[in-house]
A = this chain, B = another copy of it.
């Protein structure tokens, strides 16, 4: 009862052959050159700084100083006889701006006063002070909590979680740090496996020795230190089923890489972790997603962020991810049978057409061509459609061939 399909048969023969990594290495060199030229455009960044508001990762001491200086500002205002007041950067859509040179959405410089002696802002002002106090407490204790925990510390004042969440974002902008730096984190969802070692809260973690289940990515990356790796690239996987296949086959042994998945829509913790890896290791990132508009959308969230976290965009985004597959053009090239392709719904097609207008697609000709092909043919396919050629076709044939050929865009 061997594999019935030709694909499966060929895959078996190739199982032990080494994967040709020269294309990945070329990409790495190219990206290094580009990064050097990007560094020279820091001058550009500086010229924007008087109009844009961006935040940065900050340690507990920095955040505590930030909180204290906001308090000092308010005290000054009171002493001058102007009453309690804080200046809060506006996060409204009209204060947002896409900067092509940075390839990010950022905040412009509009800010409004939040006074205690005003009926319109007194509640917000009180909430702001309470959350400043709580953040200071968290930083002092060196612990992390979720937004939900924060809400429950003073339900009477906050009334709904939307209010405490909202003010938390304000405070990140006021202090000039990321929300994670405030010690308020989202829950974890991502997992990692492969050629990377690091320390997490002091524990030595070796992701090549994480069995088949992998290591849960922690909700905060500030406890991760001493990242080391001999990987040639990071493989970013949309779905956990594909992750499972790669983990069980220990793909990272054949092909030195780090494998990450957020199990669908990327969460903040996974995005932060990816960014940390990229900044430290400076290796290419290859994306393996479904051939549908949502697969592309997932890559875009990793690359350029989402609108409601625009102030935090620099810290969450990892530009220059390569789209490895499954691409619309792969369907014919790999002879994916008709019955493994799925018809796109009206909604899929509309989403695809809308995405064609978006900056991150229109600025990348190769991506636009693929998406146009998808919308025109009205068909999509999941990564798992490759199982049609044998369960291990993905790890033994598809990925090695793509990586050796440098077949990404």
Contacts and interface: CB of A to CB of B under 8 A. Distances in A.
A215 interface: yes
Contact of A263 (B155, B187, B205): B187
Given A149-B384, A149-B387, A340-B155, A136 B1 contact: yes
A111 interface: no
Interface size class of A (residues with CB under 8 A): 35 or more
Interface stretch (A51-59, A241-249, A281-289): A241-249
A9 interface: no
A2 interface: yes
Interface string A125-155: 0000000010011101101111011101111
A388 B153 contact: yes
A216 interface: yes
A153 B388 CA distance: 4
A3 to B, nearest CB: 7
Nearest to A130: B4
A25 to B, nearest CB: 28
Interface in A192-212: 199-205, 209-212
A202 to B, nearest CB: 8
Contacts of A215: 210, 213, 215-216
A248 to B, nearest CB: 6
Contacts of A188: 191, 213, 240, 244
A145 B187 contact: no
A133 B1 CA distance: 6
A140 B3 CA distance: 11
Contacts of A199: 211
B200 A211 contact: yes
Contacts of A220: 212
A241 B137 contact: no
A337 interface: yes
B209 A217 contact: no
- Specify how many copies of this chain sit in the oligomer: 2
A339 interface: yes
B148 A241 contact: yes
A352 B97 CA distance: 49
A382 interface: yes
A201 B205 contact: no
Given A2-B137, A337-B156, A391 B143 contact: yes
Nearest to A145: B391
A185 B245 CA distance: 11
B210 A152 contact: no
A3 B154 CA distance: 12
Contacts of A248: 143-144, 201
Contact of A187 (B211, B218, B244, B249): B244
A200 B209 CA distance: 9
A200 B156 CA distance: 47
A385 interface: yes
A343 B188 CA distance: 28
A295 interface: no
B223 A212 contact: yes
Nearest to A152: B387
Top 5 closest A-B pairs, CB basis?
A200-B211, A213-B218, A155-B339, A152-B387, A203-B209
Given A141-B392, A212-B219, 7 more contacts: A153-B387, A153-B391, A201-B248, A205-B210, A212-B223, A213-B218, A216-B216
28 contacts: A1-B133, A137-B391, A138-B391, A141-B392, A143-B249, A146-B384, A149-B241, A149-B245, A152-B384, A152-B386, A152-B388, A153-B387, A153-B390, A155-B388, A187-B263, A188-B240, A200-B210, A203-B209, A203-B211, A204-B209, A210-B215, A211-B218, A212-B218, A212-B219, A213-B217, A213-B219, A214-B216, A219-B244
